[in-house]
Amino acid sequence: MRIKFFIYRATRISLGIFLIFYSIYNVIRYSKFLDRLDVYFGSAKVFNIELIEALAPLVPFEEFVIGMFLILGIFTKEVLIATITLFTFFMLFFLDVNYWFLASIYCILSFVAIVLLKNSHYDINSMSYNKEPYRVIK
């Protein structure tokens, strides 16, 4: 049981660290990130939606927040659901623009997040979900 708890926590923290470093990298090289977005959306067929294109520059900031929540273990279940949704969308988006390598990376990351969500009962130090939000903050 102790080893499962350690593996769960190490995987959750590793995923959070990866998201934080990748988001910091994209923020530091933000102009190149925006150029890559233009290339991606230029070849998108299904996901060529203006709303998605307008929200895409916020992705590094979303990844940073998700990574921080994963590392700190705050609202782990909800953050993992958001992570799975985000990674699945990225996987489908990169399949649409024919970037198979990036789609496979997000497929693996989505699978890791699904496994973490399925085994979330191992992390006993995460914030409780049964309490009211105002009581958790106090």
Domain that holds residue 77: 2-137
pTM: predicted TM-score of the whole model, two decimal places? 0.79
> What's phi and psi for 49, nearest 5 deg?
-110, 135
Number of domains in the chain: 1
Other C-beta atoms lying within 10 Å of the C-beta of residue 43? 11
- Summarize pLDDT for 2-61 with one digit per residue, the tens: 787 888 888 889 999 999 999 999 999 999 999 988 888 888 888 878 888 888 899 999
